[in-house]
Structure 1
């Protein structure tokens, strides 16, 4: 069964998909959410081609489960995927053998999936504030959640020229478990926008997203 985890609410939901299908099968099953095949055709790496399709396949299934008719996605001027349905936002992600989709009703969406890896330790000063670095304490697991959460916030914000270190802020709980909630904030012009976020651990991966209701 490709659906690994799923959470549906009244005003949002997310779905994690395990990529087991062939490229040909995914191409057929993801077609309802593909608005620009040229983007896919430019991908040369076979696994990335499957992952791109799988994220859109996840969006098809999630939309159906939320009672929304799947439709071709298009990218806005900032590269953020959007539905033709103005009331619903969508965000996509993929890593390794997984892909995921998130939908929210009348609010933006941001979701990201990341693998726990040691290379995040030397990169930490580039994407964490001094306070966040002190909290992470070079722990690859905490650094993975920080990185994933900031990626999700960046997607949610939907604009470019945001500094991960100074314009995105994450407050994690003291201990990380298989699932949990935390706070995220992003700088919007001269003010900070605060919101509730969630994480799920899937093996050596962390999935983060703005919480669904």
Structure 2
């Protein structure tokens, strides 16, 4: 399967979605993996876990449009980064899809989720009272997934552990729509940052993404 969806956000920033239809062997054949990476894949249970890991790397290769080896590592907080390319990246996957976001000049975060009714069981675990009040009762499930994807994308962009979705990431009230943008903030004892969150529905999935902070400018 080729890229199922691609969106160019600006000259240096884009994301894409890959529909996973290949076997693990087919995905491996499209990569240049070293012994440590192959051993890691072997440690994963056969099934979605290794397909997700492999498909994000195949999609990353497609987006970078390179035949070079891609050295993708994770830092002490578990955030992925590229050793031998200048791009900042964010990876996500859910069931049959993988998503990758890259930028040459700003930090990024993306999340893709299959929309399922069970999210209502945990709504008060990731949304504060003020956020719950603006959820549209006619589109509760979809609205909750927008909020989840937004908070997950911000969490991935900032890249540090010990950040609470409910206590530290706050969403400004916004009406439900299948696609849109709204403001959000990350508020901890150490920092305050504002973001424009973008989101859109994709088949039975929801995608949320952020690129830099509000007013962000690169010095490159």
Q: How many residues align?
A: 210
Deviates more, 1:155-164 or 1:21-30: 21-30
1:114 corresponds to: 113
Per-residue deviation, residues 49-94 of structure 1 (Å, max 9, x unmatched): 1121111111111111xx8966220011111110014632111111
CA shift at 1:137, angstroms? 5.2
Query: 2:37 and 2:187 mapped to 1: Cα distance?
Result: 31
2:157 matches 1:156: yes
Change in Cα spacing, 1:211 to 1:63, as seen in structure 2 (3 Å) is: same
Secondary structure, counterpart of 2:107 in structure 1: coil
> Structure 2: which 5+ residue stretches go unaligned?
none
Change in Cα spacing, 1:96 to 1:68, as seen in structure 2 (3 Å) is: same
Per-residue deviation, residues 17-57 of structure 1 (Å, max 9, x unmatched): 11111211101213369973333222104122112111111
1:136 corresponds to: 135
What TM-score, normalized to structure 1? 0.88
What RMSD over aligned residues (CA atoms) do the two structures have, in Å?
2.5
CA shift at 1:210, angstroms? 0.8
Deviates more, 1:130-139 or 1:29-38: 29-38
Query: 1:141 and 1:34 mapped to 2: Cα distance?
Result: 42
Deviates more, 1:168-177 or 1:120-129: 168-177
Change in Cα spacing, 1:50 to 1:86, as seen in structure 2 (3 Å) is: closer
Query: 1:13 and 1:42 mapped to 2: Cα distance?
Result: 31
Deviates more, 1:98-107 or 1:72-81: 98-107
> Structure 1: which 5+ residue stretches go unaligned?
none
1:200 corresponds to: 200
Change in Cα spacing, 1:15 to 1:32, as seen in structure 2 (3 Å) is: farther
Change in Cα spacing, 1:99 to 1:200, as seen in structure 2 (3 Å) is: same
